[in-house]
Each structure stands twice: as C-alpha cells, then as structure tokens.
Structure 1
C-alpha cells in the first residue's frame, strides 16, 4: 500500500446521506501485512475429506431466474439468509431471501446497487436479524462489486432503511460472520490482491476497524486460476469454495479448502462431489450453522437448473460435520 493511500485510508470518516440515514466509515485502516493473529485461539477444524450430507435440494428462491450466491444463518432466531440477483436486474441489484434451515422460503428483501453477493453475514439482535453485505456497487452490471459494507435490519418485503455503511471506498469487498464467536471476516482487494481481515462483530458494528484480530493475504487455491465461489469461517479457520458450473457430471471441479488464519496457510484442500446429480451444478456460497443440539455444520451451496435452455434456477445446500 502506498504511503499516500495509507494516509488517506487512515482517516475515519462519517458520511450522512440525506434522507437515507447512512453512516459511512472510511476504508480507513492501514493494515500491516505482517500482523500476527495471536488473538485467534487454535481450535478443531472440519475434516474436508469426510462425506457431505444434503441439507435441502432443489429449492426455488424468490428470484426464480437467478442462482443463489452467498448465505448466512442466524443461529439465535433460526433463520437462513441467501443472496441472489434480482429478476430483471442489470446484475448488481440483489435479493436477500429468508428461509428455514430445511429450505422453506419465509421472506425476502430487495437491495439495489449492492454488488454480486458472493458472501454475506448476519447478526442477531434480540428477535431481529441484521444483514451484513456489500453495497454501493462499482458498476450496474453482473461485473459490479461492492465498495463498502452495509448493515441493516431484515424486514420482510421491504428495502433497507437506517443503513450503516462501513469501510467505504473499498474495492471488491464482502464479508462473512462466525455465529459461534460473534466475529466478522472482511474480504477485499488490497494492494492488487485479495486479503482477509478479522474483527469482533461488536467492534465492527461500532465502526471500529483499526485493530483486526487477523489480517492475511488470500492463499493460492489449486493452480491459482480457480473460480472463487464463496467463503465462511469458524474459530481460527477460513473455509473457501471454488469451481464452475458443468453440464456433464464428469466435469465436476468443485473444491473446499481450509486455511489457518493464524498463519494464512492452506491446511487442507478436498474435491467435493456433493450434489453431483444436480443438473448444471455450480458451487455457490458457504456458511456455518449450529444445530439445535449445538453441533456445528460447514455448509456450501449449489445452483442448478432443469435444463440448459431453462431460465429457472434452484438452490441446494450440503454440509460436512466431522471435526478433527
């Protein structure tokens, strides 16, 4: 990061947008590339080589013509949220679906000019669920990506209001939440590459981004030219999903990868054939949730369709549950 950019980013700014109640906190934080992650205690991790199980399959979301993207689960209020592009959008207007963990659609919100929705987070506040996601897309197209993070209350059938915006001026920013440790992980482009920064959720909601618990560059995945499709995290491990859609089941190329956030190094990478019979199966989105018996699940999604000529899209979610 250049000295001039570092100075410009180190100034926290608050921006009040007339009529919208938007609070912006500038991209703001000069983060050290060598920052140690001593504040992230070591833990068990999911064994990615173990079998995957179906959570639900072939669900129609509110926007029937677009694939699922990022997802997150409110473990307090037991609600699943899945992002997708709105029908008829230029590509950066998103819909946030609310579902039960079994895939029953229970609500939705529309969020305009948001980005791509590759990953989202959720924060339970009493009986309410607050969504964390990218906003202020850099272009009105499918290539649009967020330039800030937004936090807003989910209101079925509504649009965001009393929105708080953070890390404004970022490039290709998204986030995920750890429902167990109440943390927020931010992924964004810095110095020409993707980096992750970890914060307590309480600090993030208060606009405090100057002291991340961890900060590291995204490690090389596979041969370095993979299609990134989502991420989540639990304790000190980052989990990522990559791969592409395929008409022929023999062409499955989806992988899940675990990275230790204390070192920034990959510790396991495994091929997954979960949902292999889905037609035109494309990996999309990850999350962690805990069952009612308090057992963690590493979930990852797949979009599919009934045929190559159909505009209809379906959502399916699978999970892994073995810790090592």
Structure 2
C-alpha cells in the first residue's frame, strides 16, 4: 500500500483453461439487506495456510518506482499483470500503472489508467490472444473505485476512467467496488461497500463475460478481521483475505512481520482458518503484503499466490510467492 514504486517457477503453456460462456442472468441485482443468496456454492477443498510458501520470483522491476497494489493472472495467454500506483500521482487521484510481466517476473510493457481507483484487487480475463482487465473505475475523492469496468489491455497507452454504460455496478446502492477471479471454478468475487460496511458477493464468471449480472451466488457481510486490508481472492467455496503492513522504520527486516492470511467459508460468511502468519519472503526489505491471486498449473496443481512490495524507497520491486497444499 506504499504510496511511492528464489527460484523461479516454470508454468508451461499447455493445458489451457477457457473462459466460461454461461447463460444470461436476470437483470435485477441483490439488495444490500440480504445476507446470503438462495443458491449455495458447492463445497471444495481449501488451502492449508500453515503449510510452507514457495517462490515464484523475488525483487522484480516494474515500470514505475512505486509499490505494487495487487496482481492477476491471464491463465490462457500466460501473463501476469501487476497494478502499481502511478509515479507522481496523489493518493486520492486513483491513477494506476498496469505492468504486463511473464511468469518469471520479467517486465514486458505497461498501461496507464487515470482516475480508476486504489488497485486492491482486479481480474485478468483471457480474451482471444489478448487480456481483458476487470478493474475498479470512476474513483471517488478518496481514490477508491465506485464501479467496475472491462478494459482491453493495450501496452504503452493511457486510458481515462470510463463512465456511463461502460461502468458496471452489479450491486444496487454499493458505493465502492473491487473484484478478483477464481479461474479454476470460473467465478468472480466482488468486495463492495454498503451502508452497513464491506460485503462480499460471488458470481459465475459468465455474468462478467455476458455483462448480465443478476443475483449473486452468495452475498454476505465480510467478517471482522484485524489488520490493514491488502488483498483478497477466491478458490472454490473459500475466500482468502490478506492483511498486514511493511516493516517499520527504514524497511529493514525485523522479526516475522505482521502479514496474515485468513480463509472464509463463503457459504456461511464465517472465518474457516486464521489469521495465519505468513513468513514468505521475510528477509526482503520493506516487505509490504500486496495482493492475492489463484492459478492452476497445466499439471493441475492449484496455487494461492501472495504478493509483496519489496525493495528500497524510490526503487520498489515485486515479489510473489505461493502456497499449494489443499485439504
């Protein structure tokens, strides 16, 4: 959440997943007063958060000098997209830089998004040989997005935040939105602000590919979890929630830090495990937790990826780790 920017994992290009098409859903959204939608999500395995973490990559450069906010995988075209705050922009401007990288962490290109939001979470959906980003937009005075928008990633360009029919608000009355994708079970999770606080809704991915949202599969009030929110994602019937802060002072590694991951059963809206301390990358400088995402390798192994902003001020780097034990 900085306001200023191992051993690599080989992920092959075979065994591609495809975006679900799905049937259109009803046009009406779920009211903010509902606790849980009528349709439950089938129970799945979950990541065991006490098991070790492994390196994807450490200390990789992005386009700007400020820290990453979140990241997302295009699981068909095999690219990683890392969102950072724009160098030179204020915290409240909502200006983001989207960095396109390969799975070894090599920087490939960037896209600037002006007035979109804070970048806590977003999704990268395969679109032919390209990528469609679903990301918050129409930033409010606090710099947080008030809608969601599908954006075709085009390297080297700058895009102003869309408005009107190009900005989507699936939940009537919600004032802030972010989202993250579960590519394995083909669902999208949305975290939104209601009059009663933060809530979570889960949709079939087809609701986003057709732009026809209807009633979410589940909708619940986010349980109280201590710590600074730094990202979330979805795998099956469990949401994963990341909290924590950078190392204090000048960012020199001290102790184990305070980066925690919590799993939440989305059918009950209650905590299943955690918060569990993660020591991934504990020797890295600064080490601010920033972003969660799910990916399944072509060999069929599901992984929960955990991002950290690392490095010195003025030269922040991206570091990403993963957990793979399911129970």
Task: Please classify the TM superposition score into its range, dividing by the shorter chain length.
Answer: 0.7 to 0.9
Change (3 A) 1:124 1:311: same
Q: Would you say 1:268 and 2:270 are equivalent positions?
A: no
Q: Which runs of 5+ in 2 are unaligned?
A: 1-26
**Number of the residue aligned with 1:256:** 261
Q: Summarize deviations over 1:2-57 as a string: whole Å, max 9, x none.
A: xxxxxxxxxxxxxxxxxxxxxxxx99642452324644110101100000011100
Distance 1:202 1:245, change over 3 A: same
Deviation at 1:170, TM superposition (A): 3.7
Identify the match of residue 184 of structure 2 among 180, 183, 189. 180
Determine if the alignment matches structure 1 residue 279 to structure 2 residue 282.
no
**Pair 49,105 (structure 1): closer, same or farther in 2 beyond 3 Å:** same
Equivalent residue number for residue 3 of structure 1: none
Aligned to 1:218: 222
C-alpha displacement of 1:200: 1.4
Alignment partner, residue 116 of structure 1: 118
1:317 to 295, 315, 320: 320
User: Relative CO higher for 1 or 2, CA cutoff 8 Å, sep ≥ 6?
Assistant: 2
1:300 maps to 2:306: yes
Q: 1:161 to 1:206 in 2, by over 3 A?
A: farther
Q: Which residue of 1 aligns with 2:236?
A: 235
Distance in 2, Cα, partners of 1:135 & 1:153: 14
Decide whether aligned partners of structure 1 residues 125 and 39 sit closer, same or farther in structure 2, where only a CA change above 3 A counts: farther
- Partner residue, 1:62: 63
Alignment partners' CA distance in 2, 1:182 and 1:31: 24
**Does the CA contact (< 8 Å) of 2:115 and 2:160 recur in 1?**
no
What TM-score, normalized to structure 1? 0.84
What is the deviation of 1:171? 2.2
- Residue 210 of structure 1 deviates from its aligned partner by 2.7
Distance, in Å, in 2 between the alignment partners of 1:33 and 1:122 is 29
Task: Find runs of 4+ consecutive structure 1 residues off by over 6 angstroms.
Answer: none
Q: Which residue of 1 aligns with 2:80?
A: 80
Deviation string 1:245-291 (CA, Å, 9 cap, x unpaired) is: 11342260110111010111111111111100011111000100112
Change (3 A) 1:319 1:27: farther
- State how far apart, in whole Å, the 2-side matches of 1:181 and 1:37 are: 19
**SS of corresponding position for 2:208:** helix
Change (3 A) 1:127 1:277: same
Distance across 2 between alignment mates of 1:278 and 1:162: 34
Q: How far apart, CA to CA, are the structure 1 residues paired with 2:321 and 2:40?
A: 31
Unaligned runs of 5+ in 1: 1-25
TM-score, normalised to structure 2's length? Answer: 0.83
Q: Distance in 1 between matches of 2:38 and 2:280?
A: 33
